[in-house]
Structure formats: C-alpha cells, structure tokens
Amino acid sequence: MALWEGEEVEKPEPETFTRDILPGLQAVPLGVMAGATGPTQGYCSFVRRGLKIPHQRHWEALAALSKASAVPATYLDTEE
C-alpha cells in the first residue's frame, strides 16, 4: 500500500506548490512532466498554467524538474 493510501499524513498547503515548484515548471515540456509523474500532458498543462494543483505524491518529481529547469545552461568547454 502506498503512503498516500494509508494513514492520514500532513497535507502540504497548495500555496507551497504554487510558490516553490510552479515557477520552475514554466520551461519544462509537458511530455517531460507527464513522463515524470504519470498524468496526461493535458492535465500537466493545467498544472503548469496554475489551474490545477497535482496530488502531493507528484510534488517531489515536479520539484526536481522545477529545480533542473531553473539552473542556467553553462558551457563546459573551457578551451577558447
């Protein structure tokens, strides 16, 4: 049995998702979001536009995508 199906756990506030995770998802492709979490690209579109808050079981994966997209691309080639 999965954790979210069992005992009552402290549910995070939707504002936490909106403030901490959502901004970084704006540059994440819908297919990547869907692949990381399981919901359809259509649902992920609602999430990325801030119209839906996904189930908390998806927050960890979405937070990882959010953080990865927030890191600016750098060039590793140091030869100039």
**Alpha-carbon gap, residue 10 to 20, rounded angstroms:** 18
**Alpha-carbon gap, residue 44 to 53, rounded angstroms:** 10
**The pLDDT value given to residue 57:** 96
Provide the whole-model pTM: 0.75
**Alpha-carbon gap, residue 5 to 55, rounded angstroms:** 12
pLDDT digits (tens, 9 = 90+) for 15-59: 999 999 999 999 999 999 999 999 999 999 999 999 999 999 999
